[in-house]
Homo-oligomer: A and B are copies of this chain.
Amino acid sequence: MKKPTLKSIAKALGVSVSTVSKALKNSPEISPRTRERILEYCRLHQYEPNRMALGLRHRRTGIIGVIVPQTGHYFFSRVITGIQKVAEAAGYRVLIAHSNNESRAEREHLQLLANGYADGVLLTLAKETLQKGDFRHFLPWIQRGFPLVFFDRYPEKLPVSAVIIDDTEAGRRATEHLLRMGKRRLALISTPVYLSVGYRRELGFRKALNDNGLPVDENRILRIDERRPLGEQIRGLFRQTPPPDGIFAVNEQYAAIALNLAHETGMKIPAELAVIGFSDGIIARHTYPRLSTVVQHGFRMGQTAAELLLAQIEADELPPKPQIKIIDTGLVVRGSTSAYPVERL
């Protein structure tokens, strides 16, 4: 592995390093003859400058780092696509790191990216970080004013910029949708409480019932334990008498599983059971019938977050004042809550 460097080129051609550097930049200081000779050699050996050296010299890499729990989630991949669109339009490249929902990996990747690898970092919190509530590893970067923007899950107590959705309102609207269909025995499939996103959706669910003067049946609120088989846990809802006639799941996976379990019990969808999920996901479009969902507009979330970050990066020296942006959610009504869904394949 011997990559050409300015030094090796200079040596081979008997000129100085600076001459090679200038020739490559078409500096008028270098005579056409010398320049041509150098350019010729560089083309032949496919010279490319070392990006580390460039980054070190310019204190700028042209790179935006993104830390996500993992990218299997379609929602995150939509966010990333949005980030990329904005970043690339501004001449930046995007590198992605996975935290695997672990605090340690989150911290280490942030250190890596922030210590020279990237000009700014976009991230969403790892579950473990949320659970522990320990956000100390962000403090040094926040204090120094390193460009940092959160999306979706963020440390609410810290003075940081973030792009989120109004989960409570979205949860309320999804529930309201079920109520408008005349459903009254509503069930909720949620996550553990420490996942604030799921918790806020639950708050929205409760609010919708309250607003309509309906009681919340705590037996119909299911908090999934991800370490145990999902199907088993969800099946419990169908064993109740009477079973629920409407289910709001805080993500599309839980909703899809509920839908399929309902098929097994022979329930008619949506007449006997309506199901609505959450997420700008890919599963929802491939269930039968297809799932109604609250859509999160991940693409726009990514775009907005990237715009915030670029503003921070390019506003040199001005300490950015934290701002929270809220992305609207939408409701896509598909077959799981309507006999006459609008959307077609």
Contacts and interface: CB of A to CB of B under 8 A. Distances in A.
Interface of A: 1-3, 46, 48-53, 55-56, 61, 63, 70-72, 74, 76-78, 80-81, 84, 93-98, 100, 108-109, 111-112, 115-117, 140, 144-146, 229-232, 235, 253, 256-257, 259-261, 263, 282-283, 286-288, 290, 317, 344-345
A1 B144 contact: yes
Nearest to A140: B46
A331 to B, nearest CB: 20
A334 to B, nearest CB: 11
A95 B93 contact: no
Contact of A94 (B84, B98, B259): B98
- Report how many copies the assembly holds: 2
Given A2-B144, A72-B282, A117-B51, A96 B97 contact: yes
A167 to B, nearest CB: 22
Contacts of A144: 1-3
14 contacts: A1-B317, A3-B115, A50-B115, A51-B115, A52-B55, A52-B56, A93-B112, A95-B95, A96-B96, A96-B98, A257-B286, A260-B345, A283-B283, A286-B286
Nearest to A252: B286
B70 A81 contact: yes
Nearest to A284: B286
Most buried by B among A76, A96, A97: A96
A93 to B, nearest CB: 6
Nearest to A259: B288
B286 A48 contact: no
Contacts of A109: 93
Given A52-B117, A56-B52, A93-B109, A257 B77 contact: no
Contacts of A235: 345
Given A3-B144, A96-B96, A48 B111 contact: yes
Contact of A108 (B93, B98, B108, B146): B93
Given A1-B146, A51-B112, 7 more contacts: A52-B116, A71-B71, A117-B117, A230-B345, A232-B345, A260-B286, A286-B286
Contact of A71 (B80, B93, B95, B287): B80
